[in-house]
A and B are shown apart, each in its own frame.
Chain A
Amino acid sequence: MAEVHTHEADDHDSAYAGLLVNDAHWAFGTDFEDPLAGVDTTVPEGVDAQELAAYCLQLGDDALILSQRLSEWCSRAPDLEEDIALANIALDLLGQARLLLARAAAADPSLVPALPEGSPVPPEDALAFFRSDREFRNVCLVELPNGDFAETICRVLVFSTYRLALFQRLTAHPDAVLRAVAVKGLKELAYHRDFAGRWFLTLARGTEESRRRLEAALAQVWAYRHELGDDQDAEVVLEQVLATSGVAAPGVRPVSTVGGHTEHLSRLLAEMQVVARAHPMGLW
C-alpha cells in the first residue's frame, strides 16, 4: 500500500494542508507595513488634495468607529459562530479604515496630528489614535452603542447597503487610490449586506419577541439614516429587504445630528486610544 498512498495524496485529504508552506500572507507579530507601500499617492490633476483627504477621512472614520463597535461583540455574541462573523466584519472595516486614513494622510499631511520628535507612529495610526472626538468625521450612526443583537444587525444592514452603493460609484473616482480601495471593499460590503440581510429576515420571521426587537431596533437605526445621504440605489435595496420581511419602514423623525457627535463617541475613543496615547513613542 505504501507506494499508492503518497504524501501528495495525503495533502488532498486536508483542507488546511499547504497553509503554512508560504508564511508571507500571515500577520505574525507586529510591525505592519505601510498599507500604501509602493502605491503612487500623487493626487491627480483636477482633484483638490484637501477635499480628497477630507472625504477619505470621513469614509475612513465611519469604518474605523463601526469596526470598534462591532469588536465589542467579541466573546459576547449570542453564539460562537456569530462572534466570529461579527469579528470578521469588524476586521474588514478596519482594513478599509487603514487604507482610507493612510490615503487622507498622504493627500493632506497637515491633517495628521503632531507627535513627539522621533515617534515611530505611522500617519494612519496618528489619525486614529491621536485625534480628539471633535476631529472625527464619522456619522453618529456608527458611534451609537451596539444595543441588542437586532440593533447591531439593523445597523450593519443599513450601513453596508449605503456604503456598497457608494463604493460602486467610487470605482469611477478620478483618484486611483480611492478607486482601488472601493474595488477591494465591494466584495467585503456585499458579504456584510448579505449577512445582515439574512439575519434581518430570520429575526423578522422568527418569534414574536425577535420580531418586536427587530422593529424597535430598526426604528432606532432609521432615525439616523439621513446621515448617509440620499441614495436611490441603497433605498431600493432596503425597500426590498423590508418588503420580503414584511416589516414596515419605521415612521420616525430623523434625529438632529447637527453639531457633530454624541457623547458615546468620547467614551468609545477613550477606550480605543488610551494605550496608544500613553505611549506615543511606542512601536506596535
Chain B
Amino acid sequence: MSDVRGEWPLYEVFVRGKRGLNHVHVGSLHAPDDEMAVRHARDVYTRRNEGVSIWVVRSDEITASSPDEKDPLFAPSGDKVYRHPTFYDIPDDVPHM
C-alpha cells in the first residue's frame, strides 16, 4: 500500500490476427497490472474481431536500440547484397514469403 502511483504503467500490446502468423505490435495502453492489461487490450484492440491471441508487455521492460547507434548497427548490412536471398526462384505456391 506504500507504493501508490498516480498513473498506471504503460503496456505494449501485440495481437495475432486471424489471418496473421505472428503477433504484431498494435499499440499501447495503461493498466493497473498484467492481467488487467490483457483485458484492456481485448477491449481496446480486438473489439472488432481482429485477433485470436494477445501478448502484453510492460513498456519499461523492453530494451530497445538507440537512434544514436543506428549507423553501427544497421548501415554495414546495406552494401552486402549477397546476404539477401534474391538469387533464388521462389515457386508461386510457397506461402508467407
B43–A81 CB distance below 8 A: yes
A12–B1 CB distance below 8 A: no
Q: List 17 A-B contacts (CB under 8 A).
A: A1-B86, A9-B96, A12-B96, A14-B20, A15-B45, A16-B17, A16-B50, A79-B8, A80-B44, A81-B40, A85-B39, A85-B40, A195-B39, A198-B35, A206-B1, A207-B1, A207-B4
- Given known A-B contacts A15-B51, A81-B30, A88 and B43 have beta carbons under 8 A apart: yes
B39–A3 CB distance below 8 A: no
Q: Among A8, A79, A80, A202, which residue has its beta carbon within 8 angstroms of that of B95?
A: A8
**B21 on the A face (CB < 8 A):** yes
For the complex, count residues of A whose C-beta is within 8 A of B: 30
Interface flags, B32-61, vs A, CB<8A=1, else 0: 110110011001110111110000000000
Q: List 10 additional A-B contacts (Cβ < 8 Å) besides A12-B17, A80-B44.
A: A13-B20, A15-B24, A25-B49, A88-B47, A198-B36, A199-B36, A202-B32, A207-B1, A207-B4, A208-B1
What residues of chain A lie closer than 8 Å to B32, measured between beta carbons? 202
**B67 on the A face (CB < 8 A):** no
What residues of chain B lie closer than 8 Å to A4, measured between beta carbons? 85-86, 90, 97
**A240 on the B face (CB < 8 A):** no
What residues of chain A lie closer than 8 Å to B35, measured between beta carbons? 198
Q: Which residues of A contact B (CB under 8 A)?
A: 1, 3-4, 6, 8-9, 11-19, 25, 79-81, 84-85, 88, 194-195, 198-199, 202, 206-208
Least CB separation from B22: chain A residue: A12
Roughly how many angstroms separate A198 CA and B20 CA in the complex, as a whole number?
30
- Given known A-B contacts A9-B97, A14-B20, A81-B30, A1 and B84 have beta carbons under 8 A apart: yes
What residues of chain A lie closer than 8 Å to B26, measured between beta carbons? 15-16
Roughly how many angstroms separate A12 CA and B16 CA in the complex, as a whole number?
9
A3–B43 CB distance below 8 A: no
**B19 on the A face (CB < 8 A):** yes
A198–B39 CB distance below 8 A: yes
Roughly how many angstroms separate A194 CA and B36 CA in the complex, as a whole number?
10
A85–B43 CB distance below 8 A: yes
